[in-house]
């Protein structure tokens, strides 16, 4: 059971204590905010009315094979096994591919309501499907209910692996991966690149290995790179009506000599404390001297993990804090002659990127 804390103010020691416990680590800001309200109002009303109990009668639904670009739906049955009215205050999805299309918000004791969920397999879905929806209810002490479903995405033109991900590439390093494309239809097809053969640091080539049935997509990443994340998407024309394009996302993470992880820092109102690692990937030791924020509501300190090599930067903020657009900046001062000052963007939301896919 999770613990939620309601507070109108935040002081430095209290924020640190909360961070070490479970009070604020809800993982999703929307869930945290809704759950705090749920816990507050349900506790206040529990002594005046009966207590609801939420039970999912058909959880863990298996869609089986889901073909790409199809939409499938499932209705979760929610039984109120208690003696008080059950209220569903919120339904939080965890992937853009999932949508709640109907929701019975109030369920009387002994009655059953429904939450209708739709999965759109056209994007953000790869391989094995394991998704969940978090219901936030008025059940005292345990307001969250997890709805789960699974399945397996099938593609007419199958990718293996689904993308090309290169982790911690050296700034002067050239790396390459191959992706096998297989025609799973009963007719031969012709594939061709719809994207340029070179996009940023990535280059692509497509070779047929079995006539009308199999191909190899070669993805190469080579300098010059930008620091941190390099991204591109290559598209392949298929001529298949049900899947006219195959998208392959490519990423290359290139750590700089003085690395900040994560970069940029993205706000999550569910957390009162965020931690950033300073990693020295160079040969000479580098020490962090000072950390400052351009917003007076933020406070930061530094913990030395390994002298001259690694430091932990802790940023404390009010509960529910979100940086105003276009964001704020955390400044890290070092004793390094080449980079005496590092700037860490602190943003309200992540920069626009290609769809995230699982990478090998």
Rank 2-6, 21-25, 298-302 by mean pLDDT and report only the highest: 298-302
The reply to whether 5 falls in a domain is: no
Where does a domain end: 154, 177, 209?
154
Q: Tens digits of per-residue pLDDT, 291-345? A: 999 999 999 999 999 999 999 999 999 988 889 889 999 999 999 999 999 999 9
CATH number at residue 146: 2.60.40.10
Question: Are 72 and 148 found together in one domain?
Answer: yes
The reply to whether 6 falls in a domain is: no
When pLDDT is averaged across residues 163-172 and rounded to a whole number, the result is 96
Q: Can you give the residue range of the structural domain that contains 322?
A: 258-347
Flag whether pLDDT at 4 surpasses 80.
no
Q: Tens digits of per-residue pLDDT, 173-214? A: 999 999 999 999 999 999 999 999 999 999 999 999 999 999
pLDDT at 22: 35
The reply to whether 240 falls in a domain is: yes
3-state secondary structure the chain: CCCCCCCCCCCHHHHHHHHHCCCCCCCCHHHHHHHHHHHHHHHHHHCCCCCCCEEECCCCEEEEEEECCCEEEEEEEEEECCCCCEEEEEEEECCCCEEEEEECCEECCCCEEEEEEEEECCCCCCCEEEEEEEEEECCCCCCEEEEEEEEEEECCEEEECCCEEECCCCCCCCEEEEEEEEECCCCCCCCEECCCCEECCEEEEEEEEECCCEEEEEEEECCCCCCEEEEEEEEEECCCCCCCEEEEEEEEEECCCEEEECCCEECCCCCCEEEEEEEECCCCCCCEEEEEECCCCCEEEEEEEECCCEEEEEEECCCCCCCCCCCEEEEEEECCCCCCEEEEEEECCCCCCCCCCCCC
Flag whether pLDDT at 246 surpasses 80.
yes
pLDDT at 88: 95
Top-confidence residue, 122 or 108: 108
Question: Are 22 and 147 found together in one domain?
Answer: yes
Structural domain tally of the chain?
Answer: 3
Flag whether pLDDT at 281 surpasses 90.
yes
Question: Are 144 and 177 found together in one domain?
Answer: no
Top-confidence residue, 47 or 170: 170
Where does a domain end: 154, 184, 204?
154
Where does a domain end: 254, 270, 303?
254
The reply to whether 39 falls in a domain is: yes
């Amino acid at each position: 059971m999770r613990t939620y804390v309601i507070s109108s103010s935040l002081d430095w020691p209290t924020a640190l204590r909360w961070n070490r416990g479970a009070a604020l680590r809800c993982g999703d800001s929307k869930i945290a905010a809704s759950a705090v309200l749920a816990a507050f109002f349900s506790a206040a009303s529990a002594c005046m009315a009966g207590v609801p109990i939420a039970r999912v009668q058909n959880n863990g639904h298996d869609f089986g094979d889901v073909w790409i670009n199809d939409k499938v739906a499932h209705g979760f049955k929610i039984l109120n096994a208690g003696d008080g009215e059950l209220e569903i205050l919120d339904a939080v999805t965890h992937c853009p591919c999932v949508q709640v299309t109907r929701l019975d918000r109030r369920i009387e004791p002994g009655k059953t309501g429904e939450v209708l969920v739709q999965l759109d397999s056209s994007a953000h879905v790869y391989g094995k499907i394991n998704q969940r929806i978090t219901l936030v209810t008025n059940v005292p002490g345990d307001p969250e209910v997890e709805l789960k479903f699974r399945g397996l995405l099938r593609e007419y033109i199958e990718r293996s692996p689904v993308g090309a991900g290169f982790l911690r590439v050296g700034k002067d390093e050239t790396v390459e991966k191959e992706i096998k494309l297989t025609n799973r239809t009963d007719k031969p097809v012709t594939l061709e690149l719809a994207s340029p053969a070179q996009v940023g640091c990535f280059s692509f080539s497509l070779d047929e290995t079995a006539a009308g049935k199999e191909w190899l997509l070669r993805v190469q990443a080579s300098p010059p790179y930008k620091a941190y994340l390099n991204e591109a998407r290559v598209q392949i024309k298929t001529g298949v009506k049900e899947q006219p394009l195959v998208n392959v996302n490519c990423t290359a993470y290139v750590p700089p000599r003085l690395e900040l992880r994560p970069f940029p820092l993205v706000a999550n109102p569910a957390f009162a404390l965020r931690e950033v690692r300073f990693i020295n990937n160079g040969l000479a030791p580098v020490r962090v001297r000072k950390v400052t924020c351009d917003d007076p509501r933020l406070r930061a300190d530094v913990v030395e993990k390994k002298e001259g090599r690694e430091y932990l930067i802790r940023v404390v903020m009010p509960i529910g804090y979100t940086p105003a657009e276009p964001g704020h900046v955390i400044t890290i001062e070092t004793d390094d002659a080449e980079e005496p000052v590092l700037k860490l963007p602190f943003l309200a939301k992540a920069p626009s990127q290609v769809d995230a896919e699982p990478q090998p």
